[in-house]
Structure 1
Amino acid sequence: MKQVDIFLSDITRLVLGQNPPIFLIEVIIRALVCFVLIIITLRLLGRRVASQYTLIELSAVITLAGTMGVPLLDDKRGLLPPVLIICGLLAIQHLFGHLSLRFRKLDRVLAGTERVALDDGRLRLETLRGTVLSREKLFSLLRGRGVQHLGQLSRVYIEPSGSLTLVWSDTPRPGLAIIPRYDQALITAMQDDNHYVCASCGKLTESKKEHHQPCRCCHGQDWLPASVSLED
C-alpha cells in the first residue's frame, strides 16, 4: 500500500484490512485448523513439552508457533507448508528422543545437565554465574517453596528445564536468611547470635574470629548473624 492510500479516517481498512469481509470467515476456519494442529503436535511431542521445557523442546515449540503464525492471517499462504514443517518437526523430535535413550552423552548434550546450586546450606556461586541466575532470583524462588534460610536445605539442583529441585536437610542448622532485607523485624526474630554466615555464599561458622576474616569459600568480606527457622 502506498503512503497516499493511507487515511486515518478509513475505518473499513483499519478494521478489515485490504481483504474482503468474507476473509474473516476463512480466518476463523484457519484458526480452528491451526489450533487442532497445535494440540495434536503437542500431544505427539510428549508430556514433557506440556510441563517443563528443555532447550530442544522449547526450540520445537517456538518453531511451531512461528510456523502457524504466517498462514493464519495471510490469504496468500496455504496450510500445506505448515503441515509439512510440523511433520518434519515431529520426526526430528522423536529421532532425538530415540537417540537420547541409546546414547546418554547425546542426551546430556541436547537436554543439558543438572547443576548443584547449593550444597549443605552454602551457595555455589560459580553455578549461579554459569547459569546466569542471580542470588535474589534464586532466593525469590526458594521463598516460594517455603524456605526461610539456607540452613534448611541439603541440596538445591537446577534442572535442565530451569526448574529447582530441593532436598531438605534432616538436621537443619542455622543459615543465611533469604528474607528481604527490609523486613528487619522478621530477620531479628530469626537471628541466632551464636553463629555467623558469609553474606555472599552463606558459609556457616561458629568461630568468633573467623567472621573477622575473608570467607574461605568465596573470599567475601561481609558476615551476618545466622538465622534459624520460625515455627509455623
Structure 2
Amino acid sequence: MKQVDISLSDVTRLVLGSHPPLFLLEVVIRALICFVIIIVALRLLGRRVASQYTLIELSAVITLAGTMGVPLLDDKRGLLPPLLIVIGLLAMQHLMGHISLHYRSVDRLLVGPERIALEDGRLQLDTLRGTVLSREKMFSLLRCRGVQQLGQLSRVYLEPSGALTLIWSDTPQPGLPIVPHDDKALLAAMQDDGHLACASCGHVIEQQPAPNCACTRCHAQHWLPACVSVED
C-alpha cells in the first residue's frame, strides 16, 4: 500500500483492511479449520505436550503455531501447505519418539538428563548455575508444593521438562527457610535457636555467638537462623 492511500480517517480500511467484507467469513472458516488441525496435531503429539514441555515438544508446538499463523489471514495462501507441514512434523515427532524408546542415549541427547538440584537439604549451586535456575524461582516452586524449609527434603530432581520432583526426608532436620522474608511471624515461629543455615546453599551448622566463618560447602559468609517446619 502506498503512503498516499493511508488515511487515519478511513474507518473502513482500519476495520476491514484491504480485503472485501466477504473475506471475513473466509477468515472464520480458516480459523475453524486451523483450530481443528491444531487440536488433532496436539492429540497425536502425545499427552505430555498438554502438561510439561520437553525441548523437542516445545519446538514442535512453536513450529505448529508459526505454520498456522501465516495462512490464517492471508488470502493468497492456501491451507494445504501448512497441512503438509503438520503431517511432516507429526511424522518426525513419532519417529524421534520411536528412536528414543529403543536407544536411551539418543533420548538423553534429545531431551537432556535430569539433574539433582538439592541433596540432603542443601542446594546444588552448580546445577542451578548450569540450568540458569535462580534460588528465588526454585523457592517459589517449592513453596507451591508445601515446603517451608530445605531440611524437609532429601532430594529435589530437576527434570528435563523443567518440573521439580521432590523426595521428602523421613527425618526432617532444621534448614534454610524459604518462606517470604516479610512473614516475620511465621519465621519467628519456625526459628531453631540451635542452628544456623548458609543463606547461599542451605548448609546447616550449630549455632555460634558470632559466626564469621565461611560456609564449607560454597564459601559464602552470610548465615541465617535455621528453621523447622510448623504444622498448618
For residue 216 of structure 1, what is the aligned residue in structure 2? Answer: 216
SS at match of 1:212: coil
For the 8 Å contact 2:197–2:203, the answer to whether it is kept is yes
Query: How many equivalent pairs are there?
Result: 232
Residue 26 of structure 1 and its aligned partner are, at CA, apart by 0.4
CA distance, structure 1, for counterparts of residue 83 and residue 211 of structure 2: 64
- Partner of residue 132, structure 1: 132
When normalised by structure 2's length, the TM-score is: 0.97
Residues in 2 aligned to 1:117 and 1:50: alpha-carbon distance in whole angstroms? 25
Distance 1:88 1:74, change over 3 A: same
Structure-to-structure mapping, 1:60-75, within 5 angstroms: 60-75=60-75
- 1:181 & 1:52 partners in 2: Cα distance? 30
1:16 and 2:16 matched: yes
What is the aligned partner in structure 2 of residue 39 from structure 1?
Answer: 39
**Does the aligned pair in 2 maintain the 1:115–1:158 contact within 8 Å?**
yes
Alpha-carbon displacement from aligned partner over 1:59-80 (angstroms, at most 9, x marks no partner): 0000000000000000000001
Tell me the residue number matched to 1:206: 206
1:3 positional shift: 0.9
RMSD of the TM alignment (CA)?
1.2
CA contact (8 A) 1:139 1:178 kept: yes
Aligned to 2:96: 96
Cα distance per residue 1:185-225 (max 9 Å; x no partner) = 22111110101111110001126389431111100111111
Contact 1:205–1:211, Cα closer than 8 Å, also in 2:
no
TM-score, scaled relative to structure 1: 0.97
Structure-2 residue corresponding to 1:180:
180
CA distance in 1, matches of 2:231, 2:60: 45
Runs of 5+ consecutive residues of structure 2 not aligned to the other structure:
none
The amino acid that maps onto 1:143 is: R
Q: Which amino acid aligns with 1:52?
A: Q
Q: Is the 8 A contact 1:151 1:172 kept in 2?
A: yes
In 2, Cα distance between equivalents of 1:111 and 1:30: 34
How many Å separate the matches in 2 of 1:210 and 1:62?
Answer: 54
CA contact (8 A) 2:194 2:207 kept: no
Unaligned runs of 5+ in 1: none
1:76-117 residue CA offsets vs partner (Å, 9 max, x unmatched): 000010011011101110110010011101000101111111
> Which residue matches 1:113?
113
- Partners of 1:64 and 1:86 within 8 A in 2: yes
User: Structure 1 residue 179: deviation in Å?
Assistant: 1.2
8 Å Cα contact 2:150-2:175 kept in structure 1: yes
